[in-house]
């Protein structure tokens, strides 16, 4: 798959574009949501990444890749919040 190769070479914008085209044709393609979420995560666009993982989980609540990605972002956001709170104190 071209998008996986793009992901491995850190062409995250290419992944987002390719997966967007796939999702337009196949809106229930869970792996496309996962890979697009991972690309947004790598670009630091965490809210958008969470949205993509959630869309995948709506289709399959037990999808391992989407669950893993969603959990990773939530964990990161909690740590960022704790760090910000500690810095403010």
Task: For 26-80, write each residue's pLDDT tens digit.
Answer: 999 999 999 999 999 999 999 999 999 999 999 999 999 999 999 999 999 898 8
Q: For the chain, give the mean pLDDT.
A: 92
Residue 70 in contact with residue 57, Cβ under 8 Å? yes
Task: For 3-21, write each residue's pLDDT tens digit.
Answer: 777 888 899 999 999 999 9
Residue 85 in contact with residue 62, Cβ under 8 Å? no
Among the listed residues 45, 39, 37, the one whose alpha carbon sits nearest the alpha carbon of residue 12: 39
């Amino acid at each position: 798959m071209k998008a996986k190769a793009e992901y491995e070479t850190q062409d995250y914008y290419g992944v987002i574009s390719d997966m967007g085209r796939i999702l337009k044709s196949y809106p229930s393609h869970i792996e496309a949501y996962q890979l697009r979420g991972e690309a947004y995560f790598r670009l630091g666009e965490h809210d958008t990444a969470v949205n993509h993982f959630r869309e995948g989980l709506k289709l399959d609540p037990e999808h391992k890749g989407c669950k893993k990605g969603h959990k990773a972002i939530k964990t990161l956001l909690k740590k960022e919040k704790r760090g910000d709170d500690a810095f403010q104190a």
